[in-house]
């Protein structure tokens, strides 16, 4: 799709709002500086500012806290910690294992012990550094291997088996054994973590939070304050990025600010600076693997034993479902007949790791892709042929290791199409010829697929609500439980509502997420924001449309089914009226012009004790071909070309979907190449700023970056035939890692020794063997 096609805002009243590319609903406001984020909200009179007091020790007994010097700073209003919490001192997380403020022990460097509140933010931050903590150090567990050896886990281990992996490996013609580690990843959202808490009358509270889950923030704040949920309202118009980092951990800031606001009786804002954000908040889970894979001469897998060690940090947070999804996606696109997977959720004295785009899926996908590439090299085969040999089938070999049937499989035609359009095999030959005559710069290429399950694995979260209001001038407002973090959710929902009512896109306004409007909403996560909230909004708009259709059919003596809504008009067999005229007349006749909508995902079920069932409504598919070059003298690397063919069903907004694919791929590329988190032997995170933690820059994006959309609609009954697009493209970047390993192999190195991220040092190490 050409750039002009992607960015054309189509406003002709005869065109549908969905299915065409149009600008993000906030794009103009954002580029003009007119889009409001939490820190832009005008502060009420008397607002104070908080800053965290953090532990400098990874593990220890907290014996005391001296606040004398901090309280002596002019403008400081107080220091508040565990003793000042009116409700439960533990956060209302499902495992109930994380304190609001550390009290008896500290469990990582950066754990918040208290907050200092002052008249302005810089005074609060300076004073926070003057608080003296008396901590007696205790032994700290800083690696997953140490935690596993000590059986230090945040949750019990999980084992999933199918067939007899041990027997299959015993009879396999060849067996590959290996170990591998993949690092974590900092979310690095442009807008850091922030909350602004305002007291209202009668012990009620209004919370502005940069959060993907306003309902959970509401629950956490009310739990900490010892009040009912209905006394707390949480609002979020938009976030400046989330990526999973604001799914649970935005709640911490809201609770800390609320406790201070409760003690002082005034509004309190808490915004972390970038260094504190790095030091306090969790990351993508680092994983370590040990595997044994059996295979035959054709590359067909004959058995797999896989051990996964997830570094969860000091508390459970979302580690259980993250590690579960890694198990679910350890197959990626491939049928595993005899398999045994063991997952250990390791407790370490680091930040509590949390959700991140893909939610464990990338950590599952990468290991099977690595195994298949190494099998291909051992057999002297093209890795693509080994991948095609192991794909899920249509009539047979179509049941996952967690007992879900793959019913919508498009893997083989999608991968074969991409291999042809990208000239993969021709380029592979060209690269071999290049490498034969280039002693320093070596190239590599890889084609890897993704099969990503769409739905929350926790079935209860697969529900959503929405409200649609039609005003007497014919303008429309929609509110839903999802949150906008730049991904275009509100743009898609507005388009869905516009088409349901037959009005132009510009007549529909999406408003801020608000717990007082749509209660008990699930997090905007699991790539399901549009699937859930878009469908709920569609149903709400449909109720209003049905009311109007019944009214108009009565006027014109026709059936309600004969009334059409399109192009801003309401059309019956005898009369055409403007939508505005119909609305005005309906109001005059006391017809309801607003409605709610509710949606629950069908077909899904899941036994969390056995990890079996149908946890996903459908799968999203895609594939990427990546070509790279490495400098064999320095280990530096560059991505040269990327070709992507991705399945989004019938796209609601192709421009937004392509943007998500491009952004997800580049973010995944960063995870696997430059974004290295380094803790020292004391548990201190040394890479806690842009100076030491390197996300991809514009110069890292290749000039050849081609994205095409698979043309088929979702085979399940999803809104507008679309598919989720937020997370699946992230895993396409595994093609970058595999291409780098291919380049190392073609340089005579040891690709089986390479861990992720493939920094220059890591590439050089694998080259030198």
Kindly list the catalytic residues.
727
Measure the N-to-C terminal CA separation of the chain; round to a whole number of Å.
43
Main-chain phi, psi angles of 722, to 5 degrees: -85, 170
Indicate the helix (H) or strand (E) that contains 390: helix 383-390
Query: What is the dihedral sign for C-alpha 258, 262, 264, 265?
Result: positive
Q: What is the DSSP string of 1-62?
A: --HHHHH-----TTS-STTS----TTHHHHHTT----GGGSPPPTT-EEEEEEE-SSSSEEE
Alpha carbon of residue 492 to chain centroid: 18
CB 105 within 8 A of CB 61: yes
SS3 317: coil
Strand-pair category, 637-646 with 704-709 = parallel
Q: How far apart are CA 110 and CA 273, in angstroms?
A: 13
Q: How far apart are CA 405 and CA 126, in angstroms?
A: 57
Closest to 192 measured CA to CA, from 262, 273, 265:
273
Q: How far apart are CA 555 and CA 560, in angstroms?
A: 11
Q: Which residues on adjacent β-strands are paired with residue 619?
A: 453
* Omega before residue 730 within 30° of 0, cis: no
Neighbours of 93 (CB within 10 A): 20
Alpha carbon of residue 572 to chain centroid: 45
Burial status of residue 167 (CB atoms within 10 A of its CB: 0-12, 13-18, 19 or more): exposed
Q: How far apart are CA 221 and CA 255, in angstroms?
A: 5
Strand-pair category, 618-631 with 441-454 = antiparallel
Count how many residues are written for the chain.
769
Over 336-380, what HEC string results? Answer: CCCEEEEEEEEECCCCCCCCCCCCCHHHHHHHHHHHHHHHHHHHC
Strand-pair category, 48-54 with 268-271 = parallel
CA atoms within 13 A on the CB side of 312: 28
Indicate the helix (H) or strand (E) that contains 161: strand 153-162
Alpha carbon of residue 697 to chain centroid: 20
Burial 399-430 (b: 16+ CB within 10 A, else e): bbbbebebebbbbeebbeebbeebebeebbee
Strand-pair category, 463-470 with 132-137 = unpaired
> Tokens in use for 497?
């509502």
């Amino acid at each position: 799709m050409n750039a002009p096609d992607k960015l054309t805002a189509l406003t002709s009243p005869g065109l549908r709002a969905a299915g065409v590319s149009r600008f993000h609903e906030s794009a103009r406001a954002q580029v003009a500086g007119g889009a409001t984020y939490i820190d832009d909200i005008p502060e009420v009179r008397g607002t104070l500012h908080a800053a965290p007091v953090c532990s400098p020790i990874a593990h220890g007994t907290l014996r005391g806290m001296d606040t004398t010097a901090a309280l002596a700073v002019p403008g400081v209003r107080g220091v508040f910690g565990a003793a000042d919490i009116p409700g439960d001192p533990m956060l209302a997380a499902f495992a109930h294992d994380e304190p609001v403020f550390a009290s008896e022990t500290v469990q990582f460097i950066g754990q918040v012990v208290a907050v200092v509140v002052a008249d302005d933010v810089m005074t609060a931050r300076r004073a926070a550094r003057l608080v003296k903590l008396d901590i007696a150090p205790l032994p700290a567990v800083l690696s997953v291997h140490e935690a596993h050896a000590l059986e230090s886990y945040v949750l019990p281990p999980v084992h999933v088996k199918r067939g007899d992996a041990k027997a299959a490996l015993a009879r396999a013609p060849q067996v590959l054994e290996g170990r591998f580690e993949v690092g974590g990843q900092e979310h690095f959202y442009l807008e850091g973590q922030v909350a602004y808490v305002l007291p209202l009358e009668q012990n009620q509270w209004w919370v502005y939070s940069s959060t993907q889950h306003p309902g959970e923030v509401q629950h956490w704040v009310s739990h900490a304050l010892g009040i009912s949920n209905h006394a707390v309202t949480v609002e979020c118009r938009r976030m400046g990025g989330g990526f999973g980092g604001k799914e649970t951990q935005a709640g911490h800031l809201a609770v800390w600010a609320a406790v201070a606001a409760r003690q002082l009786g005034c509004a309190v804002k808490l915004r972390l600076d970038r260094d504190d954000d790095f030091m306090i908040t969790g990351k993508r889970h680092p994983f370590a693997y040990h595997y044994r894979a059996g295979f035959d001469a054709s590359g067909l897998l004959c058995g797999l034993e896989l051990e996964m060690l997830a570094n969860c940090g000091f508390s459970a947070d979302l580690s259980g479902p993250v590690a579960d999804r890694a198990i679910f996606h350890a197959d990626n696109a491939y049928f595993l007949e005899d398999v045994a997977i063991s997952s250990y959720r390791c407790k370490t004295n680091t930040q509590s790791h949390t959700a991140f785009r893909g939610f464990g899926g990338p950590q599952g996908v990468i290991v099977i892709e690595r195994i298949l590439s190494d099998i291909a090299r051992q057999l002297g085969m093209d890795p693509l042929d080994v991948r095609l040999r192991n794909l899920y089938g249509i009539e047979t070999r179509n049941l996952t290791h967690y007992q879900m049937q793959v019913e919508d499989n498009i893997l083989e035609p999608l991968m074969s199409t991409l291999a042809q359009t990208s000239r993969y095999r021709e380029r592979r030959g060209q690269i071999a010829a290049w490498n034969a005559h280039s002693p320093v710069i070596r190239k590599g290429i890889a084609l890897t697929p993704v099969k990503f399950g769409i739905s929350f694995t926790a079935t209860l979260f697969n529900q959503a609500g929405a409200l649609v209001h039609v005003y007497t001038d014919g303008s429309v407002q929609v509110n839903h439980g999802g949150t906008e973090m730049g991904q275009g959710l509100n743009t898609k929902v507005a388009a869905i509502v516009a088409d349901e009512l037959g009005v132009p896109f510009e007549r529909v306004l999406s408003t801020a997420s608000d717990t007082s409007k749509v209660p008990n909403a699930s997090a905007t996560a699991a790539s399901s924001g549009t699937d859930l909230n878009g469908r709920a909004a569609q149903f709400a708009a449909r109720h209003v449309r049905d009311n109007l259709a019944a009214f108009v059919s009565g006027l014109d003596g026709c059936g309600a089914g004969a009334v059409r809504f399109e192009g801003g008009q309401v059309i019956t067999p005898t009369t055409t009226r403007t939508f505005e005229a119909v609305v005005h007349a309906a109001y005059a006749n006391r017809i309801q012009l607003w409605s709610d909508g509710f949606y629950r995902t069908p077909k899904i079920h899941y036994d969390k004790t056995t990890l079996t069932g149908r946890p996903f409504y459908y799968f999203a598919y895609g594939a990427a071909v990546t070509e790279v070059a490495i400098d064999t003298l320095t280990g530096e690397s560059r991505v040269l070309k990327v070709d992507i063919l991705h399945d989004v069903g019938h796209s609601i907004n192709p421009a937004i979907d392509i943007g998500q694919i491009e952004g997800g791929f580049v973010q995944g590329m960063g995870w696997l190449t430059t974004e290295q988190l380094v803790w020292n032997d004391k548990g201190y995170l040394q890479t806690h700023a842009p100076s030491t933690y390197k996300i991809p820059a514009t110069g890292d994006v290749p000039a050849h970056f081609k994205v095409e959309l698979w043309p088929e609609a979702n085979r399940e009954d999803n809104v507008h035939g679309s598919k989720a697009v937020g997370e699946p493209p992230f895993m396409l970047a595994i093609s970058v890692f595999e291409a780098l390993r291919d380049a190392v192999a073609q340089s005579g190195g040891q690709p089986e020794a390479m861990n992720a991220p493939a920094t220059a040092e890591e590439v050089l190490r694998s080259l030198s063997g």
